[in-house]
């Protein structure tokens, strides 16, 4: 069955997404990972604020400088949509499921998010911001396809970071059992409908 795309509530591209308070996560067993995940995303958002301010454009700038800053601002805009996608996906999972976070936002090679259902099923989540679509590369194929999932797990297993190694090795081990690993694409849109309450019921099973 194909990957389900969750249509999120409309979100202003430059409006800060909804971050929970630390207190609101206190009753969760995965609160430490969740808070670190949200904190990394909020730090990223604030860094983008600073970059945007630094690269402001006015008529007094030289044409070449304006061109460089326009390119930088385009990159900042893309990064903002990534943060929006990550935060909205996490918020939706917390609102609609009882999953536990195993791996959250981190730069470099890896999955966007990895969760675990109460029944032990591992859920790989690809969070897409407004306007973003699944990527495709000659080396790994289409995002969230089984080859991509396996190659990403291999890359994480060979990482110099212990947490990524553990997640990569876990995926490589669990995926040998049919139905033990599932994939979800959760997409935020600016004009999409309200989040569907049944999106989590139709995953891709690897």
Q: Helices (H), strands (E): how many in the chain?
A: 4, 8
205 bridge partner residues:
182
Distance CA 186, CA 195 (A): 10
Q: pLDDT class for 201, splitting at 50, 70, 90?
A: low
CA nearest to 155, candidates 102, 111, 104, 204: 111
| Residue scoring higher pLDDT (108 or 153) | 153
pLDDT tens-digit series, residues 162-198: 999 999 999 999 999 999 999 998 887 654 433 444 4
Q: Which residues have CB under 8 Å from 68's CB, separation 6+?
A: none
pLDDT tens-digit series, residues 117-152: 999 999 999 988 888 888 898 999 999 999 999 999
pLDDT tens-digit series, residues 50-78: 998 898 888 788 888 888 888 988 888 88
DSSP 62-97: -HHHHHHHHHHHHHHHHHHHHHHHHHHHHHHHHHH-
Q: What is the pTM of this model?
A: 0.84
Q: Which residues have CB under 8 Å from 202's CB, separation 6+?
A: 1, 4
Distance CA 177, CA 120 (A): 12
pLDDT of residue 199: 56
């Amino acid at each position: 069955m194909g990957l389900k795309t969750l249509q999120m509530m409309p979100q202003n591209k430059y409006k800060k997404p909804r971050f929970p308070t630390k207190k609101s996560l206190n009753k969760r067993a995965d609160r430490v990972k969740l808070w670190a995940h949200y904190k990394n995303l909020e730090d990223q958002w604030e860094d983008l604020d600073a970059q945007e301010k630094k690269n402001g454009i006015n008529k007094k700038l030289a044409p070449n400088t304006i061109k460089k800053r326009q390119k930088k601002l385009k990159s900042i805009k893309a990064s903002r949509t990534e943060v929006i996608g990550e935060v909205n996906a996490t918020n939706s999972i917390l609102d609609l499921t009882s999953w536990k976070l195993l791996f959250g936002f981190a730069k470099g090679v890896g999955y966007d998010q990895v969760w675990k259902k109460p029944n032990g099923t591992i859920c790989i989540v690809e969070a897409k911001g407004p306007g973003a679509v699944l990527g495709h590369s000659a080396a790994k194929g289409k995002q969230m396809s089984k080859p991509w999932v396996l190659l990403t797990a291999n890359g994480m297993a060979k990482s110099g970071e212990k947490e990524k190694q553990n997640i990569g090795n876990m995926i490589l081990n669990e995926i040998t059992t049919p139905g033990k690993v599932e994939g979800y694409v959760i997409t935020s849109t600016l004009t999409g409908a309200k989040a569907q309450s049944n999106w989590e019921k139709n995953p891709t099973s690897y």
